[in-house]
Amino acid sequence: MTDNRTERLLEILAATYGTNPWNWHTRQTPFQVLIGTVLSQRTRDEKTDEAAKALFARFPSPETLASAPEEEIANLIRPANYYNTKAARIKEISRIILEKYTGNIPDTIDELMQLPGVGRKTAACVMVYGFRKKALPVDTHVHRISNRIGLIQTQTPEESEKELWKVVPEDYIMHYNELMVKHGQNICRPIGPKCHECPIVEFCEYGLERQRA
């Protein structure tokens, strides 16, 4: 796909979903973005929000979380899936941040990925939503949609991130993840995508083919 077509479809998605469609994490500290993104793993957005709000109302900082009882953390984040595992990780992350980084959140992807339970996508989310630094968080949904609409042709999210840096216009780097997530939630679903309602179907051979069928 040419750069002009890529930019045009992103313009349409931005007009459809907003150019700043970020949710609760835009109002949080980098630490809260980090913990919130850990909570979001394999958990629906509304459950993540519920768990994060309960947790941060009681323990808003690495200092308070590092000293919190793990059982209490688990109880607060119960709306999230795997809350016991995540409680242990959250407490350990808080301890490491205090001991190794004197309470400051590392602001590089490589350092963030050294924390327990933090993969590349989570680290990239912290960079974008916590530090407002350019990164491309790519999960399975962003990978799937980017390939479906023909922006890239890759096999894994890791490959997708590398290729998306080559094709996503500079102005949309910070917004790409959330635009694709919103599009996937509303239109471009894994099963039964609403191609007849898609605002960018003219750029998508998959969607055009389904409409012709």
CATH topology for the 30-104 domain: Endonuclease III; domain 1 (1.10.340)
pLDDT value of residue 53:
95
pLDDT value of residue 23:
53
Residues with pLDDT less than 50, the chain:
2, 21, 24
Domain edges within the chain: 3-21+136-212, 30-104
pLDDT value of residue 24:
47
pLDDT value of residue 49:
93
207: tokens are: 């969607």
**pTM for the structure as a whole:** 0.90
What CATH architecture does domain 3-21+136-212 belong to?
A: Orthogonal Bundle (1.10)
Quote the CA–CA distance of 91 and 94 in Å, as a whole number.
5
Quote the CA–CA distance of 124 and 130 in Å, as a whole number.
9
pLDDT value of residue 21:
45
